[in-house]
Amino acid sequence: MPDAFETLIAQLPLVGEQLARAEVQHELLALVLAGVLALVAHHLARRALTRRAEATRQGSLHHLAIRSLQRVLWPVSMLVVVFVARIALQARPQATPVLDVAVPLLTSLATIRIGVYLLRKGFRVTRALKAWENLFVIGIWSAVALHLLGWLPAVAAALDAVAFTMGETRISLLATIKLFGLIALLLTLAFWISGVIERRMRASPNMTPSLQVAFAKFARVFLIALAFLVAIDAVGIDLTTFAVFGGALGVGIGFGLQRITSNFISGFILVLDRSIKPGDVISVGTDGSKYGWVQELRARYVVVRDRDGVERLIPNENLITSEVINWSYTDKNTRIRLPVQISYDDDPEQAIALLEAAAQASPRVLGDPVPTARLLAFGDNGIELELRVWIADPENGIGNVRTDINLAIWRAFKAAGITIPYPQRDVHLKPAPPGRALPDLDPNP
């Protein structure tokens, strides 16, 4: 076992002797009392601050200041009580080594909590993120506390002693902890920087939505890969040792991760060829049943929101390999067809005039191209007509335009006495030929 760790073990009896001293017990009692009073003050102040935070606007500087203050209520409250106890004990006079150490520990805890909270504001707030925030604070503060107490070299040496060798590479518990810590820290910075870049891209009026998504995706992938490489290199692990892992990963992609890789690459294709952009109105599939508005282009899927408020997560590969109707690809102007039939007893020219007049029932119908009605065919049940109108905002739906115009057609036809026929069938009964008897129909065969 390393000499530093043996020294730390040898000092444990001395620590026990120090704790048995009356002066140190007074300091420990002051710390316990400070903790209890800090909890009471934290509980009372948190209620008042919560009410103030609810009354302020989300995202404002005032709201951010209140939430930041809530993060440091307990360490600051305890720090105040510790200062008072320290002054009181020094007035006796009495040395206060324990309280002297407690002051920088509490100060560092408050500073770390504020720093991590402000860094977290760059991400979308979720429950998991709040939980990770506490883990980050505990991890960083533990390292700082060990450094302030002077125990960090001994603990680091003990963790480094727990190791095994893989080929020519020595992997210790300390290196593993450093690796995961650096990866967590660098990934946090990578996500934060990519989020800042994405918001900057979205705020730029000179970039198309597809180009904004492309830059944001490329920046995120590049920063994540860079974070892993920097963390591995900083720990001292030779990158050539991952050659076998890279080969295994390639085999895994070839067999089990084909669809994931395909969706990932398809996402970049969709972004680069600008076939689908956020805000487009699309229909997916031959039947066009998946109709909605593109909300987001993600790495693996596209979020499409339909008229029912349901968000469909369509894999990127489906948008590459299947038929997609983009209602707003180059031109948002969309033609709507409204078929209708009239009876053979009615005047088709009068019906066509009424159809074109009924097109004005919806304010969304464009005047250019003008609405037109056409006589398409002479059907089995009536004369087939069709009204054709154009709209410039398919993202607002098509069904409401159809409803407005169909109601206007119904009212106009009713007023003009024009009949909309329905399928009819005439059944003709022929008499039996002379001299041929009808078969007996026995009701009880």
pLDDT average, residue stretch 267-281:
78
| pLDDT value at residue 264 | 78
Task: Say if residues 306 and 292 touch (Cβ distance below 8 Å).
Answer: yes
Residue for token digits 């005039």?
353
DSSP, residue by residue, 125-162: --HHHHHHHHHHHHHHHHHHHHHHHT-HHHHHHHHHHS
pLDDT for residue 22 is more than 60? no
pLDDT digits (tens, 9 = 90+) for 117-162: 777 666 665 565 666 777 777 888 888 888 877 777 777 777 777 7
Geometric angle at alpha carbon 444, from 441 and 445, rounded to 5°? 75
Q: How far apart are the first and last CA of the chain?
A: 104
Q: Is the dihedral of CA 374, 377, 379, 383 positive or negative?
A: positive
| pLDDT value at residue 1 | 44
| pLDDT value at residue 130 | 65
| pLDDT value at residue 340 | 93
Torsions phi, psi for 323 (to 5 deg): -75, 130
pLDDT for residue 178 is more than 60? yes
Residue for token digits 């990932």?
264
More confident residue, 391 or 208: 391
Q: CA distances (Å), 30 to each of 25, 322, 333, in order?
A: 8, 71, 76
Min mean pLDDT across 15-29, 99-113, 338-352, 373-387 is at 15-29
Geometric angle at alpha carbon 134, from 129 and 136, rounded to 5°? 90
Q: CA distances (Å), 398 to each of 275, 298, 362, 391, in order?
A: 22, 27, 11, 9
Q: Is 399 exposed, middle or buried (0-12, 13-18, 19+ CB in 10 A)?
A: exposed
- As a residue count, the chain comes to 445
pLDDT classification of 2: cutoffs 50, 70, 90: very low
pTM, to two decimals: 0.48
pLDDT digits (tens, 9 = 90+) for 53-71: 565 655 555 556 666 666 6
Q: Which domains, ranges and CATH numbers included, belong to the chain? A: 3-161 (no CATH), 263-326 (2.30.30.60), 334-416 (3.30.70.100)
- Name the strand (E) or helix (H) holding 281: strand 281-284
Q: State the CB neighbour count (10 A cutoff) for residue 345.
A: 11
**DSSP secondary structure code for residue 386 in this structure:** E
pLDDT average, residue stretch 391-417:
88
Joined tokens for residue 144: 């700082």
Task: Say if residues 53 and 67 touch (Cβ distance below 8 Å).
Answer: yes
pLDDT digits (tens, 9 = 90+) for 420-433: 888 767 777 777 66
pLDDT for residue 403 is more than 80? yes
Task: Say if residues 412 and 357 touch (Cβ distance below 8 Å).
Answer: yes
* Chain CA centroid to CA 424, Å: 55
Which segments of 20-72 does DSSP mark as H helices, in order? Answer: 22-55, 61-71
| pLDDT value at residue 415 | 92
Joined tokens for residue 329: 């690809």
Residue whose C-alpha is closest to residue 269's, from 220, 204, 321, 224: 321
CA distance 326 to 330: 9
More confident residue, 113 or 54: 113
pLDDT average, residue stretch 209-231:
76
Q: What is the mean pLDDT of the chain?
A: 75
Q: Could you give the percent of the chain with pLDDT greater than 90?
A: 12
CA distance 346 to 98: 102
> Is the bond leading into 369 cis (omega within 30 degrees of zero)?
yes
CA distance 316 to 298: 9
DSSP-derived 3-state class of residue 440: coil
pLDDT for residue 14 is more than 50? no
pLDDT classification of 394: cutoffs 50, 70, 90: confident
pLDDT average, residue stretch 349-363:
91
Joined tokens for residue 426: 């005439």
Residue for token digits 């989300």?
58
pLDDT average, residue stretch 309-319:
83
CA distance 367 to 173: 74
| pLDDT value at residue 428 | 75
Give the best-scoring range by mean pLDDT among 163-167, 274-278, 379-383. 379-383
pLDDT classification of 342: cutoffs 50, 70, 90: very high
| pLDDT value at residue 414 | 92
Task: Say if residues 245 and 296 touch (Cβ distance below 8 Å).
Answer: no
| pLDDT value at residue 368 | 86
